[in-house]
């Protein structure tokens, strides 16, 4: 059989995509999770893991982003760092885990981190135009998360594929670099880390040596190719986080696995500097440039 070359390429690409995603789906859950303490909840869309006392990772393993939101429970109130995809109901999960009032803070406002913001009344945001625009909601990025191969296992009962979008949400407080959020017996400091997006932040729990890194670092391909990404700002932000590394015990990233060693940070800094100075080798991947390092990689435009 002879296929026209365009058709052949299309079939070949589709086969490649489905093979990649099949591998991803077959390898779920990632091995790192077997060492973590699982907390049983009713909703099968999420998996919850206890990372430290009062720190729970709320993981969405059935979607390719493998996004992780965090519930940090203090003595007076709780903070939800991101609300995930908005495919199932993270608020119901949170209400099962704590009776305390919950404030939502976002690592940044990409669709996969703000999906359930609309369900909450106390939402903090960074005062950027990017944030204000994303708070109006959007459809395209959300729909792309449901493309062939992006879902592993069943979607939640009653989920409507056609109407899925990132719903608009209200921001009740504006955050700034250095702000401290007091949860009672625990304080989280906001560290502005623009780069991946203009509104990216990390949260530092200094006393417990924890750093919630958002999408500035996670052990996987770090996306640095979108128009809202600023690579120079990213380098400065990673530098800032890397300076904290000696005081840290644990990194809690927003994708893939909820635990990583702080020694990653100086290595990420070294790696991104190599990329910026043209000293790193890249491979072309779907029209983007991929730079592979040990335990993580960068995808740039």
**Which residues of the chain form contacts with Zn ion (CB under 5 A)?**
110, 215
Q: Is the backbone of residue 160 left (phi > 0), alpha (psi -120 to 50) or beta?
A: beta
**Nearest approach, Cβ of residue 108 and Zn ion (Å):** 6
**Nearest approach, Cβ of residue 165 and Zn ion (Å):** 17
Which of residues 43 and 230 has its CB atom nearest to Zn ion in the complex?
230
Which of residues 62 and 110 has its CB atom nearest to Zn ion in the complex?
110
Which of residues 36 and 211 has its CB atom nearest to Zn ion in the complex?
211
**Nearest approach, Cβ of residue 185 and Zn ion (Å):** 31
**Nearest approach, Cβ of residue 214 and Zn ion (Å):** 8
Tokens at 197, concatenated: 């997006």
Which of residues 110 and 186 has its CB atom nearest to Zn ion in the complex?
110
First to last CA, the chain: 37
Residues 6+ apart with CB under 8 A from 22: 149
**Nearest approach, Cβ of residue 220 and Zn ion (Å):** 12
Which of residues 77 and 110 has its CB atom nearest to Zn ion in the complex?
110
**Nearest approach, Cβ of residue 159 and Zn ion (Å):** 22
Which of residues 116 and 215 has its CB atom nearest to Zn ion in the complex?
215
**Nearest approach, Cβ of residue 252 and Zn ion (Å):** 15
Which of residues 47 and 215 has its CB atom nearest to Zn ion in the complex?
215
- Residue with nearest beta carbon to Zn ion: 110
């Amino acid at each position: 059989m002879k296929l026209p070359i365009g058709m052949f390429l299309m079939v070949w690409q589709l086969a490649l995509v489905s093979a990649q995603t099949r591998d991803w789906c077959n390898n779920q859950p990632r091995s790192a999770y077997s060492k973590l303490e699982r907390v049983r909840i009713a909703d099968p869309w999420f998996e919850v893991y206890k990372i430290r006392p009062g720190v729970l990772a709320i993981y969405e393993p059935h979607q390719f982003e493998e996004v992780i939101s965090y519930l940090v429970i203090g003595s007076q109130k709780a903070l939800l760092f991101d609300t995930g995809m908005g495919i199932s109901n993270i608020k119901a999960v949170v209400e099962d885990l704590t009776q305390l009032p919950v404030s939502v803070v976002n690592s940044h406002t990409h669709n996969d981190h703000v999906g359930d913001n609309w369900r909450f009344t106390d939402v903090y945001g960074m005062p950027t135009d990017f944030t204000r625009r994303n708070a109006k909601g959007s459809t395209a990025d959300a729909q792309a998360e449901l493309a062939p191969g992006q879902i592993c296992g069943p979607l939640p009962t009653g989920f409507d594929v056609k109407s899925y979008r990132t719903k608009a949400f209200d921001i009740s407080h504006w955050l700034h670099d250095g702000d401290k959020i007091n949860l009672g017996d625990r304080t989280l400091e906001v560290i502005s880390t623009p780069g991946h997006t203009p509104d990216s932040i990390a949260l530092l729990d200094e006393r417990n040596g924890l750093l919630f890194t958002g999408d500035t670092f996670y052990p996987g391909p770090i996306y640095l190719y979108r128009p809202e990404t600023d690579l120079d700002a990213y380098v400065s932000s990673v530098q800032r986080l890397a300076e904290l590394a000696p005081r840290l015990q644990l990194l809690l990233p927003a994708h893939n696995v909820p635990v990583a060693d702080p020694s990653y940070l100086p290595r990420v800094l070294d790696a991104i500097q190599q990329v910026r100075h043209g000293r790193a080798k890249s491979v072309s991947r779907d029209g983007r440039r991929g730079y592979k390092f040990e335990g993580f990689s960068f995808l740039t435009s």
